[in-house]
Structure 1
């Protein structure tokens, strides 16, 4: 199986899908073991289960127990089996988000953030796709989204990104704010993910800009479907135009919201540069510039968790900045 084909399968099934687990691998734990802080496990959030999310893990940094008088900002993250503990990931890789927050906070470069991690949903591609974007795409890209199929593995049922986004904004965040000492305003609430999770992070903030002040997408899958279909520059322009049309119908505002995106240049990310170039130009035309918008390229970086762990300090710093 080629590297690009393997990653296309990952887009539809999740980067740590059990379908690719080794049969002789030890059983995965139900709860991640963080390097510091504590994990609270919520396997019982009914609205999450309705959209295929079986587990939610809330990581509380060390300072949460040490400083009962303090409240903490919160970042919501997708594909949580890949962010805390490599034993939950098929490829023994993780973002090391708990290590990064602890390390950066200890040296005074970051506030301590609560991390709410959602396990990859069933039918991941359909669930994390920015659903309302479809009506702004040309027919050829809509068809590519509907029919994405890798070696007989179908993407799944109808798109349900709106249900997933609403679950986080309307049911999960209120539960988190009620259960923990959070800073509940949008300026202290962020969402972050990679690949399809990067798309969903942008979409979640666009749909709920009063709830989420910052969104970060690492290796954001701007091609939307298989990236090797069609002429790259033309398709990149079509995607950028669709986002411009969709954003115009939202209340997303660079005066209060911030967006970080990035990409590498190897494996699946090798297809991304023309899409980012078109997207960046579109965002500039719509008034998105620093400090509200940041787009970066990491030359040689692959589409995988080790690469995201190596640069996680950058998006964390971005979401922790003061309002633009």
Structure 2
């Protein structure tokens, strides 16, 4: 079926207005698919960013990004910040520093974000009592940290079994896991490495910026230890996959250096050095503004035209 006809049928079938403004981009174009119905999780829209010069005569890699509302247009985000994905990725592609790729921006579940992004298998390794205690945590007064039970496995299944087939069928993309990647920050960093390790045959790499290793907002190490245990078991399932970590040391990122160092030690012992990076940015905080300033680094690492150079 013609891609444009398929998109039109989606809109006609569900007859739904956009729940958020469509981002205005400075490079490339945005196509919105709404609503994107799911049998697994809450339905939502997805935004597909097509790079400058996008052509159905070419084939593209795909970057699946979490927290899709925050990626393109600061005028419509809650904090008036953005990742500047279109500017950064578009410029790198135009300068031929990376191979062309499209971005599939998936909005989070809003009040369910923590439950959607928290790695489920490590969470379920906690005792029932520990899980119950986690579910009692609050982000702020009268605002629970987990609005519902953790369902990140369903969220990842949604991406792999519903979103990926749609993108493969309607866009000019390279097929197969070796051409798909995950990216996110904070809780989105957690779900990115977790998604890679849950589905090593479906994704070729992950970008994890300011990864929220504590899992919650206290200094309790119980959750982090479960992350480490899970990674130790799953890391041998990765082969030529690429994975990128980074963090700063200001605001929420101040919680990360000691924990990231433990993850780095594990990777140093178990994973080829050319396949992963972990960078520290002194003085940088936990914000879209900070991530936008260094986004070019993981994009060049993941989508390098000359992989042997990016690994040096």
**Pair in the same fold by TM > 0.5:** yes
Paired with 1:194 and 1:59, the residues of 2 have a C-alpha distance of 19
Q: Which runs of 5+ in 1 are unaligned?
A: 1-26
Q: Deviation string for 1:180-214 (max 9, x for gaps)?
A: 01012222211100100000011111111111111
Q: Are the counterparts in 2 of residues 78 and 117 from structure 1 also a CA contact under 8 Å?
A: yes
Paired with 2:115 and 2:41, the residues of 1 have a C-alpha distance of 10
Q: 116, 141, 163: which is aligned to 2:154? A: 163
Measured on the aligned residues, the alpha-carbon RMSD in Å equals: 2.3
Offset of residue 244 of structure 1: 4.1
Offset of residue 31 of structure 1: 1.0
Q: 157, 167, 180: which is aligned to 1:176? A: 167
Q: 2:50 aligned with 1:60, yes or no? A: yes
Give the aligned partner of residue 103 of structure 1. 91
Paired with 1:169 and 1:28, the residues of 2 have a C-alpha distance of 24
Q: Are the counterparts in 2 of residues 53 and 120 from structure 1 also a CA contact under 8 Å?
A: no
Q: Deviation string for 1:163-196 (max 9, x for gaps)?
A: 1000001110011011001012222211100100
SS across alignment from 2:273: coil
Q: Are the counterparts in 1 of residues 232 and 266 from structure 2 also a CA contact under 8 Å?
A: no
Q: 219, 229, 235: which is aligned to 1:229? A: 219
Q: Deviation string for 1:204-263 (max 9, x for gaps)?
A: 11111111111011110011111x434xxxx2xx55542343235547634221211111
Q: Deviation string for 1:113-136 (max 9, x for gaps)?
A: 100001121310011111011134
SS across alignment from 1:171: helix
Q: 2:57 aligned with 1:74, yes or no? A: no
Paired with 1:54 and 1:266, the residues of 2 have a C-alpha distance of 33
Offset of residue 95 of structure 1: 0.4
Paired with 1:281 and 1:291, the residues of 2 have a C-alpha distance of 15
SS across alignment from 2:53: helix
Q: Aligned residue pairs: how many? A: 287
Q: Are the counterparts in 1 of residues 196 and 203 from structure 2 also a CA contact under 8 Å?
A: yes
**Structural mapping, 1:114-263, within 5 Å:** 114-122=102-110, 123-137=112-126, 142=131, 145-149=134-138, 150-154=140-144, 155-226=146-217, 228-230=218-220, 235=221, 241-250=225-234, 253-263=237-247
Offset of residue 44 of structure 1: 2.0
TM-score with structure 1 setting the length? 0.82
Paired with 1:139 and 1:283, the residues of 2 have a C-alpha distance of 30
Q: 1:254 to 1:202 in 2, by over 3 A?
A: same
SS across alignment from 1:92: coil
Paired with 2:172 and 2:233, the residues of 1 have a C-alpha distance of 34
Q: 291, 294, 299: which is aligned to 1:308? A: 291
Q: 2:250 aligned with 1:266, yes or no? A: yes
